Amino acid sequence: MLVPGWMFEAPHSLPARRRERLFLARIAARLVNRIDVTGARPAGAGTLYVSNHISWMDIPILGSALETEFIAKSDVKGWPLIGPLSRRSGTLFVAREERHRVHNQAREIADRLENGRSLTLFAEGTTSDGITILPFRSSLFEAARQARQIQPIAIGYHRGDGVALSDDQLGAIGWTGDEELLPNLGRVSRLNLAAEVRLAPAFTPGKDMPRKQLAERCEIAVRENYAAIRAAAKRSE
């Protein structure tokens, strides 16, 4: 019901952004019982949020919890339904495998950030199994130095009553390999989930800070916050 009105709004306008966040919030509400936003306050406009990535669910959950656009791999724009909606919402598509385009893609990211639009980078480059966090890729951190602020965030899932998920249940959530969307959606809908988005303190990147150092700093923060999410859930058992 929200999509037709959204499609008639001027792209990236405030009314379009409001409809988009409401649209994502409605999807998120069908997937999880609640979303807990914990830790530091969101840093605001022009922020590069750096997150782990477990599932396609991360996007509606983060998009409803934060004022952010997303950086996604280029093949997403060809997906049925999701591709057109992603293009409409301002998703920035990158071809990570095309090394000769890295500089231009970094410039696009930097332009968005310099214009006050926040972006979320899933720095693992793909989805994980939810049990461990994959090493962060440093290639797109070239543009991170242009961000007003960088804020590492961790997203995690637990049962709706706060109890930790088993490794098997986490693996059922993780959207890995070539799995199609509908089977994963079916499993997720039976798990009675809650989500937590935990924000680390934001920091201002140094203009001369090597991108590998930026990636390492963010990875440490995300790992610490993801561990805190899982530890809190285990204490609820």
What's the CATH number where 17 sits?
A: 3.40.1130
Residues pairing with 94 in the sheet: 73
Instruction: Determine the average pLDDT of the residues in 191-218.
Output: 93
Q: Give the chain's mean pLDDT.
A: 84
Binning pLDDT at 50, 70 and 90, where does residue 147 land? confident
The DSSP bridge pattern shows strands 193-199 and 149-159 to be antiparallel
Owning domain of residue 32:
2-235
Q: Are 55 and 104 in contact (CB under 8 A)?
A: no
What's the mean pLDDT in 209-230? 95
Tokens representing residue 213 in the block: 């150092």
Q: What total of structural domains would you count in the chain?
A: 1
68 CB contacts (<8 Å, ≥6 apart)?
A: 47, 49, 62, 118, 119, 120
For residue 128 the two structure tokens come to 């994980």
pLDDT digits (tens, 9 = 90+) for 99-139: 556 677 778 888 888 888 899 999 998 888 888 899 998 88
Binning pLDDT at 50, 70 and 90, where does residue 154 land? very high
Whether 163 contacts 231, CB under 8 Å? no
Is 181 a residue whose pLDDT tops 90? no
Is the Cβ–Cβ distance between 122 and 52 less than 8 Å?
A: yes
Global pTM reads: 0.88
DSSP string, 193-227: EEEEEEEPPPBPPPTT--HHHHHHHHHHHHHHHHH
